[in-house]
Chains A and B, each alone.
Chain A
């Protein structure tokens, strides 16, 4: 089986996909997440990949298998090193035209040597480590054939010989006022060492100071280039070989290896993004994706929020959920700022990421192969005309209901807050019934606890700290909503719950 790329999609649609962000991205804070992932990888044009959920379970599992292999830190480290080296190689090759004579050939040679040592290391690591994913296995096989080909071996060997010959050269420069003379080097000691010896007796008093350094790699100046040309004149043979070599093998990069390198960035970028969260103790898991709506996740969290909190060294609260048969709508109630919106986002993010084939927040997860995500989050209030806001809301919800299918995910947040409670109850009831009948997966965030008792719904409530009702825990639990979570906590604190009062009064 030949190597067909690392992304599990066919050759043709490698980099196709959505170029613009879908409507729900802003509501789910996925814009932040995706830009956070791809920002360090700007050159690779990864955005369309991260905007394109897969529709095919096989393709998803193909990627998941690669991610599973990458859970081996050693392998990941080696691939990252390979990737960095490839970046350097390509960087050098892209600037050759601008360089001085001999410098150009020198960088070309070193790029080739770096390229060959990187793929050699990669191949060695592959042969040592256990690979399970079809993507990596097929690349490993390709690579082995490639580096054992006679043509490739000759190329590398010749390059190495030329480099060794040039590295062995030693020459004497006399730097005077406005001129430099190059001649052969006939031996001599490092004068600095002699001076160290002369002052050695003061060594008892050594005060270690930070040494001055000259910045290397500032590029070559025209003076250095001129001196290099003189060195080439002084030692014509190795430099001539170098020039001939350069002329005869202008391009050495293999297209398959290049493709692997580009595809690999998808995995590296995502792994890099989630690593800080993992080291804060948060879990990521490769979800089971299926056509079943009995979805679940344990210890899951809002990846956008967690990324921010992690960068501030703060802890992220995780939540669990599961939907059983006959339940397709989670209605979330509870105190303000208790994490209801965050929970709704988490549900949407989880599904979106799941269909990208990447590890999702959580200790384990079963997710649904959806055909679309529709969200309606309350936008910043425009108080000028509440009635028209309600109207807008209803228009929007109608649109969602008409576009979505039984395989869609619908997330509605703080709907109808501009309506009277009476209106809100009746409108909300109707919407939920419509969604239930349609069978879409839905998260519905509301203040109205009556909605939690409708058919097809599952009630989840955001919690407060029992000791201090002013502190929100950001935990959302599967629980019957009575609209009293806040009040009950306060009452318990002062020993005034119904039960406590019965106990206390003798």
Chain B
């Protein structure tokens, strides 16, 4: 899209994370890949939540069973009490399995496409090809999560804590999987590669007032609308980039910025009749410059910035 290079120039820090995604309707949408910090934060939050859920469930079941010490002896026995206890143990095993494997699935399959941790850090998952995010994708990306994070732990436990080779293998494992997102442009982890998904920032932006109505106020008719009129050659010096910079200045409406910009523009076009009413001068200039540039757009002529012909 023609609009994108300018966007890159305006916020340089985020330039590396901007991508263009094409929806099935053929509309190119700019999206922002979620930062690695947000991803790690979301993961840690989710792990804490899972841990608390596991702990809570275990304690609750333990309470029902009536003390951990007796479980060992009672489960071996027969009779109604033992039966009930066995049932509780089964519930516990299944619950632990579900917390470990189904937590991410459950939340990412919902309409929000994000676990509570992701929601808190303002990110979510989406399909990389711009199509529908399917259940298969969510399942595939989460099946790999388990080995990406936890496999080294049983490995070290199995080989013994003082086994150097096991630590080496675990370090290699972490280097491949945990650091995988650091080595590709879109911060994909192995599960994302397999599923064809990626993690994006959840955008939020309010609709701001239209520029030309809030300015004109009660004025009616073209004659009263503008206090300042600008000639064709005065408008021809600037392009779209400068127009949008001016828009930002007007929307922010800070006195010092308005004065600086007024002086720059007045000097450039050689006028000095706007003293005292800088803001009005600028908004009139903005409206007329935009009208001129948009008229050009309708004719298929675009002027990217002041250097363009």
Our verdict on whether A and B bind, yes or no, reads: no
Taking Cβ atoms with an 8 Å cutoff, the residues of B that contact A are: none
By a beta-carbon cutoff of 8 Å, the part of chain A in contact with chain B is: none
